[in-house]
Amino acid sequence: MAQTVVLVRHAEKADASADPALSEAGQARAEALAALLADRPPTMIMRTPPQRTGLTAQPLLYVRANGRRPDLVITPFEGRTVPEHVQMIAGLVREQSPDAIILIVGHSNTVPLIARALGYRDAADMPDCEYDRMTVLVLNGDHTTAVIDRYGEPANCE
């Protein structure tokens, strides 16, 4: 048995405000993520408090895994540095059952760090324009394998 951890950045923002909603492209990306994970839905979703992470995960909150909705864990930043936040997320993942499927919706500055903390040392940094990367980690004891994929429309990083 191995845990599966799916790491994505929140989908495209509608604007540059402090707590933006998703743009139309972001809404489409959230739906694409839900469609992609529908056959193996998460048993747990972890996200930060901003609405953009919640709106990215929202379509998956209604997809049942083994007859039940996924658990939702909101992981606040308040009072933590980014490294402390990353270690908290990694610790929460490690506490889950060995067959858990966990979706983590984070940010461009946290997704690669979380992947590294979970054993994928080669996780590349994420430019601010990149919304389509999906990192799938399989955690089997001390062994981590990773697959990098893309979902939804290609991100415009040019």
DSSP codes, 38-62:
TTS--SEEEE-SSHHHHHHHGGGGG
SS3 at position 135: strand
3-state helix, strand, coil in the chain (%, to 5): 30, 25, 45
Q: What is the pLDDT of residue 107?
A: 97
Q: What is the pLDDT of residue 5?
A: 98
Could you state, in chain order, the average pLDDT of each consecutive group of 10 residues for the chain (158 residues)? 95 96 97 94 95 95 79 91 96 95 97 98 96 97 94 90
Q: Is the pTM of this model over 0.85?
A: yes
